[in-house]
Chains A and B, each alone.
Chain A
Amino acid sequence: MRDYGVERDLAVYNLLLDVFPKEVFLPRNVFQKIFIHYPRQQECGLAVLEQMESHGVMPNKETEFLLLQIFGRKSYPMLKFVRMKLWFTRFKNVNPFPVPRDLPTDPVDLATLGLRRIEPDLSAKVTIYQMASSRDSTGTADPTEQHIVGIQSPGQQAALARHSPARPVFVEGPFSLWLRDKCVYYHILRADLEPPEEREVEEIPEEWNLYYPMQLDLKYGRSAWDDYEFDIDEVEEGPVFAICMAGAHDQATLAKWIQGLQETNPALAQIPVIFRLTASTGELLASSSGLEEPCPPPAQEEEEEEDKTQRQQQGQS
C-alpha cells in the first residue's frame, strides 16, 4: 500500500476488509466456537489490522461493523480491534516529545523543527541566515545557495562572549537527527573544556546581596567518605555555543553561518574557528572535509586524545 501512498487512509483499509465475504466465517455451533474457525482467514484479517496498527491508523465504527459481519464477535480480529480501540486512545499522548505526523516539506521549516527539538528552551532564538534559492525550472543551474538555519540561546551567547580568544572554537559535524523518516544533519559550534588551571572560579563577591549572604563558609570538616561531588558517569563536556542546520556541508556554507553568528556575537571575530567536518554519511552530497589550520588532522586528533586521557587521569586521581 505504500506504493500507492494510501497506508494511512482508513477508507482503504475498510475497503480491503470489505473484500472478505460476509457471514461465511461466522462460527455456527459450539464446536466451531471452541476451535478457531477459518484460521487462515482470521490470520489474514489480523494482518490487515496489524498493518493499520503499525501505521497508526485508528479504526472506526465502520471497521467494527465489517469485522462483526465477517468474523463475528468472538474472533481474533474482533479482539484485536477492541484492543486497538482501547490502547490507541490511551497511548495517543504517551510521547512527551511528539513529532508531528506530517512533516513540513520545506527544508527551512524542517530545519526549524529539528532545531527546536534539539534546543527546546523557549528563550533560544532561531535565525534563518540564508534561504534556499529557488531552483530554475530548466534545471541547468545548480542552486548555489543552500538554506542555513541556526539556533542560539542567550546563555550560549553570554558564554561565547566570555570565551577567551586564546582558545579556538570548533565547528563539528555533521551529526544526524532522524525525524520520522527524514534525516537532517546539523553542525555545532563548540569549544573544549578549559583545563582546571585556567578555569575561572566564579567569585561570589562579598557585598553582592543587600539582604542575605550569598555564600556561607560553614566548615563541617567533611572527609573523603562524605564527598558526593564526583560522579563516575557524568563527563564534563565543553560548552556548545550554537547549532545550525544547513543544506550543504561544505566549509563555504558553514563559513557563511559563522559570519551570520558574528553579527550577534562580536567576540567571535577574534576567536579562531577550526572546521572539523567529517564525511557525511547518507543522503546528501559528499562534503569536503578540511581544516583551516595547516596542521594535519590526525596529529591534531591525537593531541586531543592525549589531552582527554590526561584529564581523565587527573579526574580519577
Chain B
Amino acid sequence: MMVFGLRARTCWALRAFAVSRRPLRSSSRTHAFAKELFLGRIEKKEVFPFPEVSQDELNEINHFVGPIEKFFTEEVDSRKIDQEGKIPTETLEKLKSLGLFGMQVPEEYGGLGLSNTMYARLGEIVSLDGSIAVTLAAHQAIGLKGIILAGSEEQKAKYLPKLASGEHIAAFCLTEPASGSDAASIRTRASLSEDKKHYILNGSKVWITNGGLANIFTVFAKTNVVDSDGSVKDKMTAFIVERDFGGVTNGKPEDKLGIRGSNTCEVHFENTKVPIENVLGEVGGGFKVAMNILNSGRFSMGSAVAGMLKKLIEMTAEYACTRKQFNRSLSEFGLIQEKFALMAQKAYVMESMAYLTAGMLDQPGFPDCSIEAAMVKVFSSEAAWQCVSEALQILGGSGYMRDYPYERMLRDTRILLIFEGTNEILRMYIALTGLQHAGRILTARINELKRGNVTTVLETVGRRLRDSFGRTVDLGLTGDLGVVHPSVATIVEEQMVLKRVANILINLYGMTAVLSRASRSMRAGLRNHDHEVLLANIFCTEAYCQNLFTLSQLDKYSPENLDEQIKKVSQQVLERRAYICAHPLDRTS
C-alpha cells in the first residue's frame, strides 16, 4: 500500500522529465538508487529491507562504543577547547590510544578496519564535541582516504600504519585563496625536475584543517600532462607530501566562529621536492581521486549530527519540563512541543538516511552512492542548524549565554553547511548527476522511438494506454501546460530550477529511508516502534506537501514560479550593488 503510494507520488513528481517505467532489457542489479529515482523508478531491492547488522557485529560495535562514550562525557571539556582554541594534547593522545585515528584503515595496516555502518555509529559519539569530530574527520575521512582508495601497495604500507596509530596526522589540501568550490582552477603547480625523479611543488593552500598538526598532506596540484594526441594540457594530480620533504610551512591558526578547537591554517609549499612514487593514482587523474575521496566521507555527517541532536533533546527536555512560567511548565505549551517534535523528527530522518546509505555502501561491489551521500549531507547540515537554533530558542535567554553549551553548538553547526561541499554546490551536483543519468537513458529511448523500433513503440504506447486507464497521472514528457520545460538545453545555468529538483529528491530519499526503517522496526518489534511510525508519518506528510508545492513551482509559466521576478530583482540590486528603493520618508515636493 505505502509502496504504491510512493510510486504514484514519484510518478507525479517527475512528470516533466520521466517517460519510461522500465528499461527494455532488465538491467543487472544497479547500485544506483537515487539515479533511478530520476527515472521515476524506486529500486525496492536497495532500500527495503532496511540494512541490518548481525547481533555479533552489533555486540562488537557496542564494545567499542562504551569506553569512547565514557571518555567523551567525562574527560572532554568542550568549553575549554572552545575558549582556548585548541585541543589539549592529552585528549589527542587518548583518542589515539582508543584507535579513533584509524577507524577505516584496514586491519593489516594497524587500523580498526571498520565498515561504513560501524564508522557511522562511532561518528555518533565522537560528534559530542564538534572540534574533535572535525579534526578526526579531516584526518581520516579525507586526509588518509586518498591513500586507502587510490594508493598503491607500497604507499599504503609506507604511510598507513603510522597514520592509523595517530603518530602522523593527515590533512587534505585542495582549497586555495582563489578556488574554493571551483576545484579545477587551482594554481599550485608541480613541475617535473630535470632528473625526472621528483616533482617540484609550488603554491599555497588555505583553510586546511589540521594544517598545523599534520605531517602528511594530500595535495592537489596542476601538472603538465601530454595527451594521447600530443597536446600538452594542465591536469590536476594528487600527491602525498610529507612535511619532511622540506619547503612546507604553515601560517598561524585561523580564528574561527565555531569548531575553534580544530587547527585551520594556510599551508605554503615552496619548491617542495615530491618523489614520483608519491603520486596518488595516476598523473592527471587527480580530479577523479578528489571526487572519490570527497564522495565517500559525506554520509557519516548524518549520523554524527543525529548523535548530537539526541544529546541536545535530552538536555533541552530536562530544562523544558522543570522550568515553569505562568504556573505551567514549558513542556505544556504547544509551540515548545512543536519544537521538540521537529527535533525528534529530523534526528530520526537523519539517522535513517545515514544508516541506509552506509548499508548500501557496505554491499559487495563498489556501489556508487555519491548522490545519496550528498543528499544526506545537505539534509543533515540544514536540519542541524535549524534544530540547534530551535533548542536555543527553547532555553530563551539562558540559551544565549556562554555558560550553556547551546551557543557553542550553534556556532559549531554553522560550518556544516559550508565545508565538505557547500550545500548549494551539492544541490547542483545531485540534480545534474541525476539528470545526466536519466537523460542518457531517455535520449537512448527517444532515438529508438524515432528509428521506429517496433517493440519500443508498442511498449511505450501500451504503457501509456494502461496508465491512462489505470491511473489519472500523466507520464508524458510534457508538463502541465503541454510543453517541455523550455530550458532543458541550458539546464546547467538554471540553478533555481535545479535547486527545486534537488529538494524534491532529498525529500523523496528521506521518505524512503524513513519508511524503510519504520517498517523494519514494526516487523522486528523494536521498542517504541509506534513512536517511530508517528515520526515517519509526520515527516512523510510534510515532505509530500512540500514536494507538491515545489513541483508546481517547477513549471516555467506557473504562477508559483517566481524565477523571473527574482532574477530581475537581483539583477537590479547587483547592478548598483546596493538597495535601490527610495527611502519610505522621501517626498517629491
Contact = CB atoms under 8 A, between A and B. Distances in A.
B321 A93 contact: no
Contacts of A91: 525
A90 B525 CA distance: 4
Interface in A169-218: 208-209, 214
A90 B524 contact: yes
B525 A214 contact: no
Contacts, number: 19
A92 B526 CA distance: 8
Interface string B225-236: 000000000000
Nearest to B530: A96
Contact of A123 (B321, B326, B528, B529): B321
B587 interface: no
B523 interface: yes
Interface residues of A, number: 11
B525 A93 contact: yes
Contacts of B527: 93
A144 interface: no
Contact of B326 (A90, A92, A122, A209): A209
Given A122-B321, A123-B321, A208 B525 contact: no
B496 to A, nearest CB: 38
Nearest to A95: B527
Interface string A223-242: 00000000000000000000
Given A209-B326, A214-B326, A92 B525 contact: yes
A214 B333 CA distance: 13
Interface in B492-550: 523-529
B322 interface: yes
A89 B523 CA distance: 9
Interface in B282-333: 321-322, 326
Contacts of B523: 90
Contacts of A123: 321-322
A294 to B, nearest CB: 40
Contact of B525 (A94, A122, A209): A94
Contacts of A214: 326
A93 B529 CA distance: 9
A266 B326 CA distance: 25
A208 B524 contact: no
A92 B529 CA distance: 12
Nearest to A93: B527
Contacts of B526: 93
Contacts of B525: 89-94
Contacts of A94: 525
Given A90-B525, A93-B529, 7 more contacts: A90-B523, A90-B524, A93-B526, A94-B525, A122-B321, A123-B321, A209-B326
The 4 closest A-B pairs by CB, nearest first: A90-B525, A93-B527, A93-B525, A89-B525
Interface of B: 321-322, 326, 523-529
Interface of A: 89-94, 122-123, 208-209, 214
19 contacts: A89-B524, A89-B525, A90-B523, A90-B524, A90-B525, A91-B525, A92-B525, A93-B525, A93-B526, A93-B527, A93-B528, A93-B529, A94-B525, A122-B321, A123-B321, A123-B322, A208-B326, A209-B326, A214-B326
